[in-house]
Chain A
């Protein structure tokens, strides 16, 4: 479910350097391994602690263990050939870590794979993959979504957290909260409508 970049706020064009980072960023094609390793370890030092903290808020003590998911997200990052094109490593790592968590749920992974096969006409077994081309909504749009999100009721927030971030199915949310699946479905549907309305202004 990844859209192509229409507003590449988070991605800079190939062949340029991310001047935001305070260490030189190697171009994936030419850089020597030492530079790349230095950059990765810089990213790790800068973001690992905060990422674990954010994930702990989402998942509680786990499972999954926040440390495990954070490590896995860094592995994904380290596997990318074009590190230099990620403008916001912080956002990239967080979204990757969240999607990795979702992927541990077989039912959701199956659904996403099916969607991917329908959308692209081919089947990829590893759907949670985020590439630097994955589009990130522009900053102002994200702020609109954030404002709409703050207005959600506590119950809506809880359901959104469980579904989008913890990757729980409706059946699992029902098991934990006692809310009926029809109710969960209704609430999420109004959450999405409210966020869309916030985005549209």
Chain B
């Protein structure tokens, strides 16, 4: 039987791709507003070098133009709420899936008979976000964890326990109630125990804060324990163990989940630490910088550079940036 030839999608050669990239760079160059006569001459030379160059430039220009024709483009581009919520299902990273597969294989080797007595297989949890990423994960019990940028949570759910560790960064925990399986979060220095509630934990160097949004949370450090309720916050440091229970501004404190960082009378050191969860370049405090300078600020994670530039103007600090980092030092 004669079959119609299958259309083969055109595959671009490496040199065609490189030419396309050159052409796009020229299109962007003319959109940058940086035009100089030298560059314009260089463009004329490039264009005259080959008819392929003109064709590639037209294609790139067509793409640039067509961006305006994308349906609903005004909404796509103004939708900055990049928080991705996964559908309720077991959420595991690829790395963990590999590890889980290995563990399952070992379990089989130990004996399939044993497995049948387990009501549910233990579940390993490994959640992580990249710098600048805010993301909500849904766990198998229906709990939802929203991780701030550059944050890392791991743990294990078994038939009788739900144990999580906040390894780095911060997270908002919306824990599904399960009386038979209390949930614990260990930050290394502080342990939090709940049945089902909503709370936020932030881990910084030498300091952990726990803020309760709803319900009841027990916070423990060494032998000390405190019970917190909705609207309560506690800060634990190496020196204090557990500080006093104090009220906090829920709206401001938890606004990071929609990409807004708020600080009330906070030391520059903490602000910089939080900025580093979202900034595309590391923000660094140079020796001698006023790390204890206390500031009240609220800004979008999109505006970190702008905020730092503003601080440079308003405070005795000096902010310098290059392509690799932003350095804050003592100013005049």
Chain A interface residues (CB < 8 Å from chain B):
1-3, 54, 57-58, 91, 94-95, 98-99, 105, 107-108, 110-112, 114-115, 118-119, 134-137, 141-143, 145-146, 149-150, 153-155, 157-158, 160-161, 163-165, 168-172, 176-183, 185, 188-189, 192-193, 195-196, 199-201
A-B contact pairs, 13 of them (CB 8 A): A91-B69, A108-B30, A110-B35, A111-B33, A114-B40, A119-B54, A137-B69, A142-B71, A145-B66, A161-B77, A177-B303, A192-B24, A192-B63
**Contact A154/B25 with A3-B59, A200-B12 known, Cβ cut-off 8 Å:** no
The 8 closest A-B pairs by CB, nearest first: A169-B33, A178-B305, A178-B306, A1-B61, A57-B74, A111-B30, A107-B33, A137-B66
- Interfacial residues of chain B within 29-63, with CB under 8 A of chain A in the complex: 29-35, 40, 43-44, 47, 54, 57-63
Which among A94, A135, A154 is the interface contact of B259 at CB below 8 angstroms?
A: A154
Contact A164 B64 (CB under 8 A): yes
Query: Are B70 and A146 interface neighbours, CB within 8 A?
Result: yes
Query: In the complex, A180 Cα to B305 Cα: how many Å?
Result: 8
* Residue contact A54 to B74, C-beta cutoff 8 Å: yes
Once bound together, how far apart are the Cα atoms of A145 and B77, in whole Å?
Answer: 12
Q: Taking A155-B302, A193-B21 as contacts, is the C-beta distance between A171 and B78 under 8 angstroms?
A: no
Contact of A160 among B66, B67, B259 (CB under 8 A): B67
From A111, which residue of chain B is reached at the shortest CB distance? B30
Residues of chain A contacted by B81 (CB below 8 angstroms): 154
Q: What's the minimum C-beta distance from A41 to chain B, rounded to whole angstroms? A: 25
CB-based contact B28/A189 at 8 Å:
yes
**Which residues of chain A are within 8 angstroms of B308 by Cβ–Cβ distance?**
178
For residue B73, CB closer than 8 A to chain A, the reply is yes
Please measure, in the bound complex, the distance between the C-alpha atom of A105 and the C-alpha atom of B306, giving whole angstroms. Answer: 23
Number of interface residues of B (CB under 8 A): 61
Whether the pair A146, B66 counts as a contact (CB closer than 8 A) is no
Q: Is the interface of A mostly helix, strand, loop or mixed?
A: helix
Rounded to whole Å, the gap between the CB of A163 and the closest CB of chain B is 6
Using known A-B contacts A114-B40, A118-B47, A183-B323, determine if residue A165 contacts B280 with beta carbons closer than 8 Å. no
Cα distance, A169 to B306, chains bound together (Å): 17
Q: Is the CB of B47 within 8 A of A196?
A: no
Q: How many residue pairs bridge A and B at CB < 8 Å?
A: 173
Residues of chain B within 8 A of A155, CB atoms compared = 132, 280, 302
Other than the given A105-B33, A145-B70, A164-B64, 11 more pairs (CB < 8 A) read A1-B27, A1-B62, A107-B33, A114-B35, A119-B47, A165-B77, A171-B33, A172-B33, A177-B303, A185-B32, A189-B25
Q: Which of A107, A135, A154, A177: most chain B Cβ within 10 A?
A: A154
Whole-angstrom CA separation of A146 from B76 in the bound complex: 8
Contacts of B321 in A (CB 8 A): 180
Residues of B within 8 A of A149 (CB): 67, 70, 73, 76-77
Say whether A178 contacts B304, CB under 8 Å.
yes
Q: Is B206 interfacial (CB 8 A cutoff)?
A: no
Question: Closest B-chain residue to A143, C-beta based?
Answer: B71
Shortest distance from the beta carbon of B17 to any chain A beta carbon, whole Å? 9
Q: Do A192 and B280 touch across chains, with their CB atoms under 8 A apart? A: no
Q: Tell me whether A182 and B323 are in contact (CB under 8 A).
A: yes
- Complex interface: chain A residues within 8 A of B59 (CB): 3
Q: When the two chains form the complex, which single residue of A91, A105, A181, A195 contacts B63, counting CB atoms closer than 8 Å? A: A195
Q: Is the CB of B69 within 8 A of A177?
A: no
Most central of B72, B74, B82, B309 by chain A CB within 10 Å: B74
Interfacial chain B residues near A188, Cβ < 8 Å: 28, 31
Q: Is the pair B65, A94 in contact by a Cβ cutoff of 8 Å?
A: no
